[in-house]
Amino acid sequence: MLLQSAAVLTGFLVVLPFYQGFAHEESTERAVYLATFACSLSALIIFSAPAAQHRLEWPLRNRGQFKRFATRMMILGLLPLSLALVLTTQLVVTQVLDTRAGLIAAALALLLVVALWWAVPLEARRSRNS
């Protein structure tokens, strides 16, 4: 699911500069766009790394090591995907409303991502290991 999400987001971001209105964006919004695209593309590459490794190493000799690698890549990929979602929120809401609303929406998206993707699972892990 994470790989597909990153792929859809990256696809959306790839076509964005080719829309007529994009050429008239402020340099700040272009910088946010480039950061968003870099984060989304990074997440896509990181999430797909286990599939590439699996195919290149076929047949797998050490499944335990591969599972640890895949888990690390999924967790690592959450970092740029988290940032990409927050920045995408800022881009979209700024286009629809204004810069202030975009920043507020991005802050709310950041709170949700931090809480639900990071704080809650890490707290559950900490509680389980206590």
Q: What is the pTM of this model?
A: 0.86
Phi, psi of 60, deg, nearest 5:
-65, 135
Distance in angstroms (rounded) separating the CA atoms of residues 76 and 70 = 10
**Tokens 């699996």 belong to residue:** 54
CA 48/CA 43 separation, integer angstroms: 8
Two structure tokens written together for 120: 């809650």
Give the model confidence (pLDDT) of 28-86 as tens digits.
Answer: 888 999 999 999 999 999 999 999 988 888 887 888 999 999 999 999 999 999 999 99
Structural domain boundaries in the chain: 2-125
Q: List the one residue out of 46, 103, 54 whose CA is nearest residue 79.
A: 46
CB neighbours of 17 closer than 8 A, spacing ≥ 6? 33
